[in-house]
Amino acid sequence: MNLSDAPYRGWYTSRRLPHLDSPDTLQFISFRLADSLPQEVLAQWQQQLTSLPDQERTTAVRQRMEDYLDQGYGCCALSHPSLAMTLQQAFKHHHAERYELLAWCVMPNHAHVLIKPAWPLAKIVQSWKVWSARWAREHAAGLRLELPERGLWMRGYWDRYVRDELHLLAVVEYIHQNPVKAGLCAKPEDWPWSSASG
């Protein structure tokens, strides 16, 4: 069976995260390097926030994750221009075939992408990770890249479907402003690994 003929899963849960796998649904996707957020830090946040209802706790943990990642923890292998360019090329590679690529940003230890999928979402994200991880392993020594020991990427990803036009505008703004918020550049268009730069 061709991957493009694979059935969509609709709503499902993976690694305790809800996902919506549905064709033509705009998806905001984030994924991170394996060493960017220690498991014990995440567990500590979960414990600190146990009194909150599930949805509020999920939102609070997500906000802490975003702030933590923007501080640049871990090996930050994506700060190497060649690896950042490779991941950016991976995003662009299947544009107009497996998905419509709308916005993206490669940060030093994580990435954000906005797409309209035509293939199952997990297969799309897997292709980005496999392509970039293979490239990183092949070029690590020559570029002096320090890669996480247990593999380049953290398992799984975080996705949120775009609900309406206002949400779409907010997602694009968030993606493009992420390097500014993290103190990496003054204006979104100054960050070379983003759709904001052209």
Domain ranges of the chain: 3-36+72-197
Q: Could you tell me what percent of the chain has a pLDDT over 70? A: 89
pLDDT band at 2 (very low <50, low <70, confident <90, very high): very low
Report the chain's mean pLDDT, rounded to a whole number: 90
Q: Are 73 and 160 in contact (CB under 8 A)?
A: no
pLDDT value at residue 24: 75
User: Which residue has better confidence, 5 or 61?
Assistant: 61
Q: Hey, CA dihedral for 169, 170, 171, 173, is it positive or negative?
A: positive
Q: Report the predicted TM-score, pTM, of the whole model to 2 decimal places.
A: 0.86
* pLDDT-derived band at 54, boundaries 50, 70, 90: confident
CB-CB contact of 110 with 33 (8 Å): yes
Contact, 113 vs 101, CB < 8 A? yes
Biggest CA–CA distance in the chain, Å, is 49
Class of domain 3-36+72-197: alpha beta
Handedness of CA 75, 76, 82, 85 (dihedral sign): positive
